[in-house]
Amino acid sequence: MSSLRMPLKYLDNAKKILCIGRNYAAHIKELNSAQPQQPFFFLKPSSSILKPNNGPFLIPKGVIVHHEVELAFILNKELKNLPDSFSPEEALDAIDGYALTIDMTARNVQNEAKAKGLPWSIGKGFDTFLPVSNFIPKSEIPDPYNVDLKLSINGETKQEDNTNLMIFPIHKILSSMSNIMTLEKGDLILTGTPKGVGPIVDGDTVDATLSVDGKEIARIDIKAETKPGFYEYKET
Ligand code: CA
């Protein structure tokens, strides 16, 4: 309830940010990845959050950053050791609200990590690598599998798909995750990106929208700049 009055409060309550990978078939294909048998996820740090109107989005030097537009949801309760029978209705009951997000990914860093069996923390975890929208009340998304996600760079559409293409539905994501780590009230869960991921460079303007039946519900507008500091990616 308080999240309705304070649209960004939800971000302060997220102890964890969990991101499903490889949840759209056409995106798996574009990266030549294997389709997982079980939902597969990684964590992003809360310091990677870029709040609305808090830009710019920062590109680390030497990094090829890809945009991944995603529907996220916020949990309203603790979930632990859920059985396989956990139902779609029970899953919707556990959702407090939604957000539009962009899971920014340092693709060349991630590719090296994949090749060497290293964690994805760096490739997914830089400051500003998680632009988010305001909190979306649950009532504005009657069906999380009928949401249009769109991302444009400098006015050119790059990603545009509906969440009905998700491979693992939310109840399967939750039952799988909850047997690995306790999901807590306030946790933010990203559901994966559709096809069309690609690079963002310094100077680009990125716009993402979330719509339901043609009505825009949430938006992210960011401008990309080079990240200050001493980090520079060099392939080794
Ligand atoms: Ca992603």
Per-residue model confidence as pLDDT tens digits over 47-59: 999 999 899 999 9
pLDDT given for residue 8 in this prediction: 77
CA–centroid distance, residue 147 to ligand 1 (Å): 17
152 vs 67: CA distance, rounded Å? 10
Q: What percent of the chain has pLDDT over 70?
A: 97
Which residue range is the domain that position 135 belongs to? 2-226
pLDDT at 133 exceeding the cut of 70: yes
Q: What percent of the chain has pLDDT over 90?
A: 92
Is residue 233, in this structure, part of any structural domain at all? Answer: no
Is residue 183, in this structure, part of any structural domain at all? Answer: yes
CA–centroid distance, residue 77 to ligand 1 (Å): 24
Is residue 185, in this structure, part of any structural domain at all? Answer: yes
CA–centroid distance, residue 80 to ligand 1 (Å): 23
pLDDT given for residue 6 in this prediction: 56
Is residue 74, in this structure, part of any structural domain at all? Answer: yes
Is residue 155, in this structure, part of any structural domain at all? Answer: yes
Residue 163 in contact with residue 136, Cβ under 8 Å?
A: no
pLDDT at 1 exceeding the cut of 80: no
Could you tell me whether strands 40-43 and 188-190 are parallel, antiparallel, or unpaired per DSSP bridges?
unpaired
User: How many domains, the chain?
Assistant: 1
CA–centroid distance, residue 140 to ligand 1 (Å): 23
pLDDT given for residue 13 in this prediction: 87
pTM of the model: 0.95
pLDDT given for residue 90 in this prediction: 98
Q: Which of 76, 47, 82 has its CA nearest to residue 175?
A: 82
CA–centroid distance, residue 75 to ligand 1 (Å): 19
Least confident of 26-35, 125-134, 141-150, 203-212: 26-35
pLDDT at 2 exceeding the cut of 70: no
pLDDT at 200 exceeding the cut of 50: yes
Q: Looking at residue 210, which CATH number applies to its domain?
A: 3.90.850.10
CA–centroid distance, residue 233 to ligand 1 (Å): 21
CA–centroid distance, residue 24 to ligand 1 (Å): 10
Residue 9 backbone dihedrals phi, psi, to 5 degrees: -55, -30
pLDDT in tens, 54-95: 999 999 999 999 999 999 999 999 999 999 999 999 999 999
pLDDT band at 7 (very low <50, low <70, confident <90, very high): low
Is residue 51, in this structure, part of any structural domain at all? Answer: yes
CA–centroid distance, residue 33 to ligand 1 (Å): 13
pLDDT at 4 exceeding the cut of 60: no
pLDDT at 144 exceeding the cut of 90: yes
Strands (E), the chain: 17-21, 40-43, 49-50, 57-59, 65-66, 69-75, 95-102, 105-106, 130-131, 136-137, 148-153, 156-162, 188-190, 199-200, 205-212, 215-226
pLDDT at 105 exceeding the cut of 90: yes
CA–centroid distance, residue 124 to ligand 1 (Å): 9
Is residue 63, in this structure, part of any structural domain at all? Answer: yes
177 vs 39: CA distance, rounded Å? 8
Average pLDDT score over residue span 203-230: 98
Average pLDDT score, the chain = 95
Is residue 235, in this structure, part of any structural domain at all? Answer: no
pLDDT band at 3 (very low <50, low <70, confident <90, very high): very low
Average pLDDT score over residue span 150-158: 98
Residue 42 in contact with residue 214, Cβ under 8 Å?
A: no
CA–centroid distance, residue 91 to ligand 1 (Å): 21
CA–centroid distance, residue 184 to ligand 1 (Å): 21
CA–centroid distance, residue 68 to ligand 1 (Å): 6
Residue 66 backbone dihedrals phi, psi, to 5 degrees: -110, 145
- Other CB atoms within a 10 A radius of the CB of residue 139 amount to 8
Q: Which of 46, 86, 44, 93 has its CA nearest to residue 68?
A: 44
Q: Which of 185, 135, 190 has its CA nearest to residue 168?
A: 190
Residue 199 in contact with residue 62, Cβ under 8 Å?
A: no
CA–centroid distance, residue 94 to ligand 1 (Å): 22
